[in-house]
Amino acid sequence: MQHLSPEDLQNHDLLDEVQCACNKAQEPVLVSFAPLWDHPPEVRVGCLEFMAGLKCECRFLALRPPQGKAFREVLQAMLSVPVDPSNLDQYEKWKSLTLEWAVVKHRTALEAPGQQVVNRMKKLGVTGYNVRDFARDAREIKRDLEEYDGGEPATMPAVPVRSLLADAPVGEEIVVPDGWTLSDEGIVGGGDDGVASIPAPILITERHVDVNGGTQLVTVAWRRDEGWKTRVVDRAAIASSREIVDALAPYGVPVTSNNAKSLVQYLADFETANLEPLPVTRVSKQLGWQGDGGELGFLWGTTLIAPKREAGDDNEGKQGVRFCGADEGDDQIAAGFHKKGSFKQWKKAIGKINPFPKVKLALYASFASVLLSIFKARNFVVDFSGKTTAGKTTCLRIAASAWGDPDDRNPAGLVKTWDATATFRERLPAVLNHLPCLLDDTKLAQQPLEVARTIYSAVQGQARGRGSVRGMARLATWHTVLYTSGEQPATSFTKDGGTRARVVSLWGSPFKKVDAETRTIVRHINDQLKRHYGHAGPRMVRYVLDHRDQWNAWEEEYRQKVNEYEERAGDNPFAGRMATDFAAIAVAARIAHEALDLPWEFEDPIKPLWKQLAKESHSADQATAALRYVIDWANSHQEEFFGRAKPSHKPLGKGETREVRQPHGGWAGRWDKNVLLPQQPKGQDNWPWIGFIPAKLHSILRDDDFEPDSVLRMWRDEKWLATTKEKSVTRHQVKARVGEATAWMIAITREAVEKASR
């Protein structure tokens, strides 16, 4: 034990010696400043400065034992002193000492100690004195001390965090902010009675800037249970006492509505005190190409595939970009992009898809997602539909295996299902920027309208507009190829012609025959892809990065392919509109063969599928879809058409004849069962048209969400409606008897019906 007199406090050599001995102590140093109350201000301040400069673990006593209790923080020891407010001399000495300590230790951050002193005063029955008054009195004492020291402001060395918490995940230069005490037990600054305001040490370890939106984020670290944990959050979240609870409490940070305000202030002070030494990194909430034109590289999951830098490059020496998900779900998506097994074995497994053009197209389209922005091409959908067979989901797994885990049963796998919320399906392509987005089995969607909305959102390439409390929220945008599968074509879920024309629809088994041999092939491919995946995609990206000088040539090649497919489409305007999607797949396939040396010879992947793709693209047209729907309705409601309704079967009386009764809901229109034409074989059905009462046809179309006026206009343009000439006017209706009356009807020609039914 060593006693220091007022004279000793003037001996700097002795103080250095004592401080050095204390800092080397293996056990906590006990510091008693019980006699300090009765000394003059200059002596008190010297003693306080000595205590503030100790960098060892200490315990402080403000009273002599046995009454004295040791505290980790000097102010808490001061607040433990029993004070009688009626004893003015005692009260003033106690108050002056707390003010002096605030000046010496906390300097500019006077509110935190002030709140503790005011809380103690209230318990003593002293009212009318607030934190603002405390800060004002402390500043007066500070000015007095500066005048006493010849105008030199009192300064204290900052306390490094690592001197208090040796295992803290920060550098040696990171310090504890003024006005706060940091220890194993937590943070003290706004609490009372020596209890930590936040019962765990919490730090900011990094600052981040989002390369896309420019917003700032921070990494918050806290020690809990077995060790240090971290979480990256938006900086705005730790600046609000309301948001900080939602942002950090679910992950184990001991923040509640009671101490949230204190933690917000502490983190703000911590960041300010360490603004320069805290490392700053660039992050992105989206995968894929980063920076203008991909100048910063490509985020494949949590791995940055960076461009090679040469001396003199403007980006030479710049930091890379890290993925930073907006939530845990984003991190889970990114985790699916990783390697397993070997590239050689993956190529051996997918070598078995060579005889199956539809399956190869599935693989090629996944590489197109990387090139869409380079081609300046639009997003599109690849849809595998048909009866339940072994094949559709396998195509999605093959596309996924180029990039990461293809296991649709793994939550982190790249193949998701339609059994998800609308918000999830909107945000998924925003995260998977420049990467394929795979959704399996449309029958799992809650409503057909959800499929339509998701397809529309994916091909549009931007999220729905949203407002914020300050104005308009920033819109997320993306480039992607959406894969989907189901028993129904994806085009059957949407009536929007523009969206339907972006769906590359592949009906039927992708592996041609459905037999034992095919099932064996499919089973083998699936088994191998579970063991070997995630190699081809990053190799493709590396090739694209290393051949940046060819990007313009690739774009020109893409444009030429578009022209080629448009010419080939001829008078099929729907196939012509999809030429951009066919071209993106074809050029991506050629580049992929160069980059990956795929185990079969390259050929145009669209060529063997052209007839089917052209046919399916035509069926994607809204006019054709509406016509097919109306024809299906007519076939299933034939008895509601005059000419097809069966006569009454009641017994006939004398002189009575069979009559055809009008349906309960009225006639739908007229559809003759048999009209004999010259040289026509007897008994052959040869009606000229199906006629609909206009109101009934409008109702039928609206029941399936078609817009009647728009559909009828397109049918007229296609010349699918029978016409009647009245003087010099051509009317797109026919007049005929329906029951006992004559009516004008919208008549669909037999030629149009047969064409739509092919």
Two structure tokens written together for 89: 């001399």
Residue 318 near residue 385, CB atoms below 8 Å? no
Q: Is 461 helix (H, G, I), strand (E, B) or coil?
A: coil
Q: Is 533 helix (H, G, I), strand (E, B) or coil?
A: strand
What's the rounded Cα separation, in Å, for the pair 683 and 692?
24
Two structure tokens written together for 141: 């004492």
Residue 3: pLDDT over 80: no
The pLDDT, as a whole number, for residue 6 is 64
Report the share of the chain in percent with pLDDT over 70.
87
Residue 313: pLDDT over 80: no
Tell the CATH topology of 343-464+475-561: Rossmann fold (3.40.50)
Q: In this predicted model, what pLDDT tens digit does every residue of 366-418 receive, in sequence order?
A: 999 999 999 999 999 999 988 766 689 999 999 999 999 999 888 889 999 99
Rounded mean pLDDT of the chain? 84
Residue 503: pLDDT over 80: yes
Q: In this predicted model, what pLDDT tens digit does every residue of 600-641 receive, in sequence order?
A: 999 999 999 988 887 665 555 667 878 988 998 998 898 899
Compute the average pLDDT of residues 167-193. Answer: 81
What's the rounded Cα separation, in Å, for the pair 749 and 691?
9
Per-residue exposure over 492-510, b if at least 16 CB sit within 10 Å of its own CB, e if not: bbbbebebbbbbbbbbbbb
What's the rounded Cα separation, in Å, for the pair 59 and 194?
12
The pLDDT, as a whole number, for residue 147 is 63
* For the ranges 85-89, 193-197, 563-567, the one whose mean pLDDT is highest: 563-567
Residue 225 gets the label, from left (phi > 0), alpha (psi -120 to 50) or beta, of left
113 vs 468: which has the higher pLDDT: 113
Q: In this predicted model, what pLDDT tens digit does every residue of 670-685 receive, in sequence order?
A: 998 865 444 445 555 6
What's the rounded Cα separation, in Å, for the pair 451 and 443?
9
The pLDDT, as a whole number, for residue 274 is 93
What's the rounded Cα separation, in Å, for the pair 417 and 394?
13
Residue 499: pLDDT over 70: no
The pLDDT, as a whole number, for residue 522 is 92
